[in-house]
Amino acid sequence: MSEENSQRITGRPANYNRWVMIFCFGVLVFLGLFYYASQKIAYNWRWNRTPIYFAYQDDIDVTSTVDGEVSSIVKDGKKAIITVKGLDEEEDYTAPAGSVKVSEGEFISPGDTLASYKKWKAGLLMIGLWITLQISVMATIFGVILGVISGLMRISDNPALRWTSIVYVELIRGSPLMVQILIWYFVLGTLINDLLASYGIGQIPAFWYGVASLACFAGAYVSEIVRAGIQSIHRGQTEAARSLGMSYGQSMRYIILPQAMRRILPPLAGQFISLIKDSSLLGIIAIRELTKAAREAVTATLQPFEVYILLGLLYLVLTFTLSMYVQYLERRMATS
């Protein structure tokens, strides 16, 4: 079959398969060069130790805090309750039934092991990944709310609302995110926590200041995206909605925003993908997100190559998954 007939049947351009082969060849060349370079450096690759960054079995020892005698060991299903009775006090300890190391009547001193077992725990990268997901989702939600409100204020006829939105957008977009994070944590955070402490209220953790800084940063960009999307809809549609008796809010809700959403979805996705990557800066305020967890793993194991390669792959999985989901939403909205 000729290339012209193949192009007519498949809808693909001429020489499509040839360029696919060239792309695959380029990928293989890159991987080959990376492998060659990795063999030429004096580094001991230890990929077999990387699973502990995600999950590992930790040795748990249940130790006594009192001096006395094991008065009873009561097994309740898969658990055992060990009771140690001293002269003036009595303590109960819970452990898996098969892990008990003592027997009834045995004398115990403080620090003696009563039971020992293994327990699965999340590794550093898994802990950091979970915190990054939490921060990204919350910052995205608050950023969208803040951005939509600011975008509507930007196109308002009220000068106070419009100027407030302009000052907010220009101030946030004109300063580095790292500076904003430091201001949120060390300046605003100190003021807010001191004020709460003066009223006997507990302090706000650094986690929420990290969410606030990312949400405010994303909200400024979402504001401009929303403004551009709304203004891209022909003004005649707003006038037609008002002529049908709709209020300004109703025309925005039912006519303008649904159409604008289709146009602003791709740039919004790009902004939220950037937000996931920007969360790596929160390590400077002691939040153990994914990048900070990776640095801690490198410090503990001295395996920078393996850890940082895994770090890049985890960020790629997060951003690629979000990108695929947005493409699915675009196709669904295009057919609806």
Banded pLDDT at 335 (limits 50, 70, 90):
low
Residue 21 φ then ψ, to 5° = -65, -40
SS3 145: helix
In whole angstroms, what is the distance from residue 264 CA to residue 229 CA? 6
In whole angstroms, what is the distance from residue 327 CA to residue 330 CA? 5
Domain boundaries, the chain: 3-40, 57-122, 124-335
pLDDT at 8 over 60: no
In whole angstroms, what is the distance from residue 251 CA to residue 239 CA? 9
pLDDT at 2 over 70: no
pLDDT digits over 122-147, tens only?
Answer: 899 999 999 999 999 999 999 999 99
pLDDT at 24 over 90: yes
pLDDT digits over 253-267, tens only?
Answer: 778 877 887 788 888
Report the sign of the C-alpha dihedral through residues 153, 156, 158, 160, in that order: positive
pLDDT digits over 71-117, tens only?
Answer: 888 888 888 888 888 877 888 888 888 888 888 888 888 888 888 98
Hey, what amino acid is at 83? T
pTM: 0.82
- Tell me if the domain spanning 57-122 has CATH number 2.40.50.100: yes
Most distant CA atoms of the chain, gap in Å: 96
Banded pLDDT at 283 (limits 50, 70, 90):
very high
Cβ atoms of residues 80 and 100 within 8 Å: yes
CATH of 124-335, one of 1.10.238.10, 1.10.3720.10, 2.40.50.140, 3.40.50.10490: 1.10.3720.10
Cβ atoms of residues 150 and 254 within 8 Å: no
In angstroms, the first-to-last Cα distance of the chain is 38
- To which H or E segment does residue 82 belong? strand 79-86
pLDDT digits over 216-269, tens only?
Answer: 999 999 999 888 888 888 878 777 877 878 877 778 777 887 788 778 888 888
Higher pLDDT, 302 or 334: 302
